[in-house]
């Protein structure tokens, strides 16, 4: 089962850095849409990497499975 408090805490911990990264990319001249899409694609690639790790190494993060392969916030 997903520990919603832990997931929320993780999301809150990452939110500031995520916003700062987004802001820096916009300041560098990228549009907000381009930045949002790039960040979403990078997150998706990370999920794919984790899925590959499950297949190749048998590693699995139980909350990741319980969330249907994605983190819920």
- pLDDT value, residue 60: 63
State the total domains in the chain. 1
- On whether residue 72 sits in a domain, the answer given is no
The predicted-structure confidence for 54-73, as pLDDT tens digits, reads as follows: 888 776 665 555 555 555 44
In angstroms, the CA 50 to CA 6 distance is 19
- Give SS3 for 17: helix
The predicted-structure confidence for 13-33, as pLDDT tens digits, reads as follows: 999 999 999 999 999 999 999
**pTM of the predicted model as reported, rounded to 2 decimal places:** 0.66
Q: Which domain holds residue 16?
A: 4-66
- pLDDT value, residue 73: 45
- On whether residue 73 sits in a domain, the answer given is no
Structure tokens at 59: 């590693």
State the DSSP code for 29.
Answer: T
- On whether residue 71 sits in a domain, the answer given is no
- On whether residue 45 sits in a domain, the answer given is yes
- On whether residue 8 sits in a domain, the answer given is yes
- pLDDT value, residue 13: 95
């Amino acid at each position: 089962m997903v520990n919603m408090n832990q997931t929320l805490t993780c999301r809150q911990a990452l939110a500031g850095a995520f916003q700062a990264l987004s802001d820096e990319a916009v300041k560098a001249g990228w549009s907000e849409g381009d930045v949002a899409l790039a960040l979403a694609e990078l997150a998706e690639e990370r999920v794919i990497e984790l899925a590959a790790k499950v297949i190749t190494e048998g590693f699995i993060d139980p909350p990741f499975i319980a969330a249907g392969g994605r983190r819920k916030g």
